[in-house]
Amino acid sequence: AAMDSTFNTVLPFNKPGYGASGRVFVGSMGAPIVISEVQLGNSGNTRAEFIELYNRTDQTISITDWDLAYSADGLTWTQIIDDISSVNIPSGSFDLYLNPAIGTSIGGKNGTPGNANWSDLNGVSGIVALRGPGNEIIDSVGWGTPANTSACEGGSCATAPPAGGSLERKAF
């Protein structure tokens, strides 16, 4: 799920738009670890989903005791990756988390399966958040029109990608 050279369009921050192959690009500034891509399921397999994190700093960052949470409406959050333990993401590296229904790999990439709370990510609207200890939101990616968009970057969510598509951020 690493960034593909085919997808080299860089959009202004807070200005989501479609890229090649139905991917939607969004951008964020500030967080050392960002959600670089969220893959939504497709009609053939609604659980072919993943969340990819990226360390955009020049040093290894520990995400021990952080978690990933999902909300379809921006109001009620469900922890889909329990407290992450002993994970250090090296500088410029990615870390992949998968819907547990697809196992430990997708597209030849190995990842960490989510917990039993990970149900299908809503393809119409939703928000995925990377949270630190105490549930403070470190970074989030939202799509569609959830009832509460405050966790979406800049208070505005990206356009929902087509079924089986993904929201992808450029790795700056």
Q: Which residue in 145, 146, 157, 161 sits closest to 15, CA to CA?
A: 157
Tens digit of each residue's pLDDT, the chain (172 residues): 333 322 222 222 333 333 333 334 344 457 889 999 999 887 777 788 899 999 999 999 999 889 999 999 999 999 988 877 778 999 999 999 888 888 777 766 777 877 777 878 888 899 999 999 888 899 999 999 999 999 888 888 999 988 888 899 865 5
For strand 50-55 and strand 94-98, is the pairing parallel, antiparallel, or unpaired?
antiparallel
Which helix (H) or strand (E) element contains residue 53?
A: strand 50-55
Question: Exposure of 137 by Cβ count < 10 A (0-12 exposed, 13-18 middle, 19+ buried)?
Answer: middle
pLDDT at 171: 56
**Dihedral (CA of 16, 18, 24, 30) sign:** negative
pLDDT at 81: 87
**Which tokens belong to 4?**
């593909």
User: What backbone phi and psi angles, to 5 degrees, belong to 58?
Assistant: -100, 15
Return the residue matching tokens 């990756």: 81
